[in-house]
Amino acid sequence: MLKVELMSYTPNAEKLVASAARLCYSSCSIGETREKLTDEKVSKFVNMLAQVGHESPIEHVSFTFGIEGISRALLAQLTRHRIASYSVQSQRYVKERQFEYVIPPEIESLSEAKTEFLSAMKKAQESYDKLTEILTDKHKKDFISAGMDEKQALGQAEKKAIEDARFVLPNACETKIICTFNARSLLNFFSLRCCARAQWEIRELAKEMLRLVSNVAPNIFRNAGPTCVRGACKEGKMSCKKPDEVRREFEKIKENLK
């Protein structure tokens, strides 16, 4: 099950953004610029930035998420967003003794499809375990022949074995990740991944991430979401043709904060 935690974020994020933006147009010192910013002025300044499209100041703030219960299929999509930092649970160093997996809703809803899916997961685990066993035995003998003691050889052999055994694990395999985005990168992420055309799993993740950051920096993310929440859809012929429905969905997200 998807679990998203906002682990850390830049303190006083919106005041920092407003300070950076105001500095561009002020002859005052940085300290004076910051001191003159009341909460009301911060809100107005950040909203003005969004309206005029001056986004570089929001790069000064960042948000770090702890994400669990996602598939390797989602991970492949997420890491295409290159202006971010990622730390992922390694299948090279962590043995999948009984891997958890994500079941797509369409498969979950069809008993025949779910039965086939669960069978595939079971076979993948069995193949992984068998390959790990075969490769561990082979590597252990090689390490012992090279002069390593049996206990150390076993430990090193298993680590080397799972390096190759992981190749049979499916895209459905669950993983965990900690990632950090600056706010400008997040806005781009939300524009693409909150869209109704985005793949279902990463869309659910994006919506939850948006909900979390909107709680702590509401002005920065006031207009965040797919492009249709701010105006015309940019998907052209590929549009979902349901902009009003999508807008209502994101209005509801913003209304239900905290």
| 3 state SS of 29 | coil
Instruction: Give the C-alpha separation, 10 to 141, whole Å.
Output: 52
Q: Are the CB atoms for 107 and 117 separated by under 8 Å?
A: yes
Instruction: Give the C-alpha separation, 198 to 202, whole Å.
Output: 7
Please tell me which residue in 166, 184, 193, 203 is annotated as part of the active site.
Answer: 193
* DSSP alpha helix (H) spans, the chain: 13-23, 30-35, 39-52, 72-78, 105-108, 111-145, 150-165, 183-193, 200-216, 243-255
Instruction: Give the C-alpha separation, 226 to 162, whole Å.
Output: 40
In the annotation, is 80 catalytic? Answer: no
Instruction: Give the C-alpha separation, 148 to 146, whole Å.
Output: 6
Neighbours of 116 (CB within 10 A): 12
Nearest Cα neighbor of 25 from 54, 62, 63, 68 is 54
Pairing mode, if any, of strands 62-71 and 84-88? Answer: unpaired
- Six-digit token pair at 208? 């939850």
DSSP character at residue 91: T
Region class of 257: left (phi > 0), else alpha (psi between -120 and 50), else beta: beta
Please list the active-site residues.
Answer: 193
